[in-house]
Amino acid sequence: MSNASLFERAQQSIPGGVNSPVRAFRAVGGTPRFIARAEGAYLWDAEGKRYIDYIGSWGPMILGHGHPAVLEAVQKAVREGFSFGAPTEREIELAEEILKLVPSAQQVRLVSSGTEAAMSAIRLARGFTGRPKLIKFEGCYHGHADALLVKAGSGLATFGHPTSAGVPPEVVQHTIVLPFNDIAALEQAFETHGTELACVMIEPIAGNMNFVRTQVPFMRRLRELCTEHRALLVFDEVMTGFRVALGGAQSVYAKAIPGFAPDLSVFGKVIGGGMPLAAFAGPREVMRHLAPLGPVYQAGTLSGNPVATACGLETLRQIQRPGFFEALTASTRTLVDGLVAAARDAGVPLVGDSEGGMFGFFFADALPQDYNVVMATDKERFNRFFHAMLDRGVYLAPALYEAGFVSAAHTAADIEATIEAAREALRS
Ligand code: PMP
């Protein structure tokens, strides 16, 4: 079956032929690849063509596809039952595992998607503080809940609708959107709205405008201002959690800022290992405001699903093996260094950055620090590069606003083949 015929058929029954917009290749043009199967670092499309996968289901597949221990855990769980709608011991085990790795949190609630986790964390922050307003940053995506769908990156950047239709202005009247990494704008916003602010939500290393770090002085000031004004600092670690380091981006910033910790954390992707699972977590004092203990309501038919928790738990166990993050960090860095070197040799301006197993690169002379600069980088060149790489069997994210992911299944030979493909692509 050809990708083109599947795409044509898909468009009859599914809007745009896809169940999540960026998959449609709208930004880069061409036909999306319909994936037939995956193993290790590779995907095979419906035409039998193999690709080295740098999307990893947009982050979850940190061990690569079909890791034997994870497969075994999932198969065992499936035989025991798909879903009970009642508590299980495995949920406790997963909660304990998460809390062991995230010292800023004492309790965690499991949900099924990053959207749900971020939306629920906002409700909890509002319920806990009794305040209405929240700050988010341009280019940060926190899922598609109404209050957060303002100047979000990711697909919204790709399709040129920075804010979604269908979200009435009254619904987002309490959402304040600030430029990323801008201390003066932050101070101004706290001065104006400080007493009404429930929380500030941020992607500490933004992965929905490619890859943009918060600078340390900005993060330090953000933490100070939140504490001073008793607003909660909410880290959206859906992408960075258990991905940039075992302890997530918060552990990276805690190294640079002594005593640093967010108030609430939102997780997804890696904690489910490829199954629908996400979570939000924080101190007991805040988390006890959730139903059934407190007045903030939140629930889910499939929350803590036994198959998803089996998959997530085994994934979290695997990434704690000695040397895991050292090796993942090294191969990701080798990839980025190789891309930069290949571009330099071809006389093409390209910069890149990575942390743990997450990376980004831009056709630009310097790493962007905010959304506007990301938007101004060379889109046409990215699109040509994307297709040249795809033709050579390398599957990068089909939009320049997305971060990339390396897995533990990517071998030195895979990375080398990718860099060689990039050399050819950049020369052409
Ligand atoms: N937050 C961040 C930082 C994300 O990257 C994403 C998804 N890419 C989400 C939230 C939403 O997660 P989901 O797609 O699972 O709803």
Query: Cα separations (Å) of 212 from 2, 130, 140, 246?
Result: 36, 32, 10, 19
Amino acid at site 33: R
Measured between alpha carbons, how far is 400 from 376 in angstroms, rounded to an integer? Answer: 11
Token pair listed for 212: 């943009």
Mutate to test the pocket of ligand 1, among 141, 267, 302, 405 (most ligand atoms within 8 A of CB): 141
- pLDDT value of residue 170: 87
Ligand 1: nearest atom to the Cα of 206: 3
- Which residues sit opposite 281 in a β-bridge? 108, 265
pLDDT of residue 168: 86
Q: Which of 148, 164, 239, 250 maximizes ligand 1 atoms within 8 Å of its Cβ, making it the mutation to test the pocket?
A: 239
Q: Which of 141, 253, 395, 401 is catalytic?
A: 141
Ligand 1 pocket, mutate which of 57, 58, 115 (most atoms under 8 A from CB): 115
Nearest CA to ligand 1 atom 1: 142
**C-alpha–C-alpha distance, residues 143 and 157, integer Å:** 13
Best of 201, 238, 240 for a ligand 1 pocket test (most atoms within 8 Å of beta carbon)? 238
**Cα–Cα dist 306/304, whole Å:** 6
Contact 42, 54 (CB under 8 A): no
pLDDT score for 298: 98
Q: Which of 251, 273, 352 minimizes the C-alpha distance to 63? A: 273
Distance CA 89, CA 56 (A): 29
- What is the pLDDT tens value at each position of the chain, 428 positions in all? 999 999 999 999 999 999 999 999 998 999 999 999 999 999 999 999 999 999 999 999 999 999 999 999 999 999 999 999 999 999 999 999 999 999 999 999 999 999 999 999 999 999 999 999 999 999 999 999 999 988 766 666 555 555 788 888 888 899 999 999 999 999 999 999 999 999 999 999 999 999 999 999 999 999 999 999 999 999 999 999 999 999 999 999 999 999 999 999 999 999 999 999 999 999 999 999 999 999 999 999 999 999 999 999 999 999 999 999 999 999 999 999 999 999 999 999 999 999 999 999 999 999 999 999 999 998 999 999 999 999 999 999 999 999 999 999 999 999 999 999 999 999 98
Structure tokens at 15: 């809007």
From the candidates 236, 263, 353, 414, which is the catalytic residue? Answer: 236
Encoded tokens for 6: 């599947």
Residue 167, pLDDT score: 87
Pocket of ligand 1 (CB under 6 A): 58, 113-115, 118, 141-143, 203, 207-208, 236, 238-239, 268, 278
| Active site annotation includes 236 | yes
CB neighbour list of residue 1: distance below 8 Å, 6 or more residues apart = 34, 46, 47
Rg (alpha carbons) of the chain, rounded to whole number: 21
Residue closest to 355 by CA, chosen among 254, 248, 256, 260 = 248
SS3 content of the chain, % helix, strand, coil (to 5): 45, 15, 40
Pairing of strands 212-213, 205-206: antiparallel
Of 206, 189, 201, 186, give the one whose Cα is nearest residue 234.
Answer: 201
Give bridge partners of residue 197 from the DSSP assignment.
133
Q: How many residues would you count in the chain?
A: 428
Domains and CATH numbers, the chain: 3-66+321-427 (3.90.1150.10), 68-318 (3.40.640.10)
Atom of ligand 1 nearest to the CA of 154: 8
What torsion do the CA atoms of 91, 97, 99, 103 make, to the nearest 10 degrees? 180
Backbone angles phi, psi at 36, to 5 degrees: -90, -40
Q: Token match 């040249």: residue? A: 388
Check residue 162 and give its pLDDT: 59
For ligand 1, the distance from its centroid to the CA atom of residue 187, given in whole angstroms, is: 27
For 348, the token pair is 């093409």
Q: Where are the alpha helices (DSSP H) in 194-323?
A: 216-229, 248-256, 284-287, 306-318
CA 234/CA 246 separation, integer angstroms: 18
ipTM higher than the 0.95 cut: yes
pLDDT at 191 (0 to 100): 97
12: its two tokens: 């009859």
Q: pLDDT at position 160, please? A: 55
What one-letter code names the amino acid at 160? G
Say which residues have a Cβ less than 8 Å from residue 371's Cβ, sequence separation at least 6: 137, 138, 139, 151, 153, 157, 179, 180, 209, 212
119 CA distance to ligand 1 middle (Å): 11
C-alpha span between 348 and 343 (Å, rounded): 5
How many angstroms does the Cα of residue 220 sit away from the middle of ligand 1?
24
Question: Quick one: pLDDT at residue 246?
Answer: 98
Choose among 221, 287, 295, 213: nearest CA to 257. 221
CA 64 – CA 43 distance, rounded (Å): 10
Q: By C-alpha distance, which of 184, 176, 179, 265 is closest to 217?
A: 184
Pick the atom of ligand 1 nearest to 240's CA: 3
Residue 344 alpha carbon to ligand 1 centre in Å: 33
Residue 80 Cα to ligand 1 middle (Å): 29
Which run of H or of E encompasses 352? strand 351-355
Measured CA to CA, the distance from residue 75 to residue 87 in angstroms comes to 20
Amino acid (1-letter code) at residue 211:
F
- Cα–Cα distances (Å) from 316 to 96, 333, 403, in that order, read 11, 22, 21
Of ligand 1's atoms, which has the minimum distance to the CA of residue 269? 15
pLDDT given at position 385: 97
How many A from CA of 307 to the centre of ligand 1?
21
Of 133, 136, 151, 269, catalytic = 269
